[in-house]
Amino acid sequence: MTVSVNQQVVFITGSASGLGRHLTGRFAEQGYKVVATDINYSALQACQQEDAWDSAQVWIRKLDITRQSQWRSVWQAVLEKWQRVDVMCNVAGYLLPGYLAETAFDQIDRHIDINVKGLMYGSKHAAETMVQQGSGHIVNIASLAGIAPIPGIGLYSASKFAVRGFSLSLAQELKPLGVAVSVICPDAIETPMLTLQEDYEEAALTFSGGRTLRVEEVADVLFSKALAKKELEITIPHVRGWLSKLGNTVPAMTFVMADYLGRLGRQKQQDRKLAKP
């Protein structure tokens, strides 16, 4: 049975900033019912006021995605309120640059708990509900850093490799049951997470691309390729995606290119700082 857009429910993590915030407003504009979640509830409240999210359509909920008990509580509340979830957008993420030899052990836990386990918890709840419905779509946000390894943000890169691998395998499990899975691997997006990396030399390679993406561009791709066409893996931009896959195919190439890309990235970091008022 086809469910009209205004009856469909979208669950989004990381709704208080960046891509998650933009997607919350974008889905609401399209007529979806939206469950907007974030660990920072006061920031969610501010977003709802500043972006004029209709509380009858956008339901904000506090959610620490690393805690199974909170997932169970929020998910059950959503099903009691709206009886279904049609689209699951796992957007929330975490990144702190650093070389492993200089990184605290708790940063290993934090990257894996948020970027991998939190996303898996969300996918697990979505899969159970969507299989029962016989329909649904899980959209996981990975990164080009999950295709080609990026030194200096190795924990983030490893976590996004895990997201990509998990998503591709999950897609094979759920497709016969009527549930689609898409994994989106964007280059650097202009968000607070990117701004944070400006002051870390370790993150220079993050800035080595031609330009940074806007959240609007990523949202456009999510709607036009993931939801509309149910594409499995989407890289943004497409050319950088293929270059990342080439680099991953021949890992030794990264050593050859590292110095050049590092210098390029450091210059762009500096340019971004100088451009600020």
| pLDDT at residue 185 in the model | 97
Is 156 marked active-site?
yes
List 94, 156, 200, 260, catalytic entry: 156
Q: Provide mean pLDDT across the span 215-223.
A: 98
pLDDT of res. 1? 54
Helix (H) or strand (E) holding 180: strand 179-186
38/23 Cα distance (integer angstroms): 13
Q: Which residues contact 144 (CB under 8 A, 6 or more apart)?
A: 185, 186, 187, 235, 240, 241, 244
Q: Nearest to residue 184, comparing CAs of 172, 167, 171?
A: 167
Contact 53, 36 (CB under 8 A): yes
Per-residue pLDDT averaged across 166-171, rounded?
98
Q: What is the mean pLDDT of the chain?
A: 94
User: Taking a C-beta distance cutoff of 8 angstroms, is the pair 216, 186 a contact?
Assistant: no
Q: CA 125, CA 276: separation in Å to the nearest integer?
A: 42
Question: CA angle 58-64-69, nearest 5°?
Answer: 105
**179-186 vs 136-141, strand pairing mode:** parallel
Number of other residues whose CB lies within 10 A of the CB of residue 3: 12
pLDDT of residue 231: 98
pTM of structure: 0.94
pLDDT of residue 2: 66
pLDDT, position 277: 77
Tens-digit pLDDT profile for residues 41-56? 999 999 999 999 999 9
pLDDT of residue 241: 85
Largest pairwise CA distance in the chain? 55
Read off φ and ψ for residue 136, nearest 5 degrees: 150, 170
> pLDDT tens for residues 100-138?
999 999 999 999 999 999 999 999 999 999 999 999 999
Instruction: Specify the pLDDT at position 6.
Output: 79
The 10s digit of each residue's pLDDT in 23-43 is 999 999 999 999 999 999 999
Higher pLDDT, 171 or 1: 171
Q: CATH homologous superfamily of domain 5-275?
A: NAD(P)-binding Rossmann-like Domain (3.40.50.720)
> Where are the chain's structural domains?
5-275
pLDDT confidence of residue 92: 98
Using the predicted structure, report yes or no on whether residue 139 has a pLDDT greater than 60. yes
Cβ count within 10 A of residue 271 = 10
Q: What is the residue type of 66?
A: T
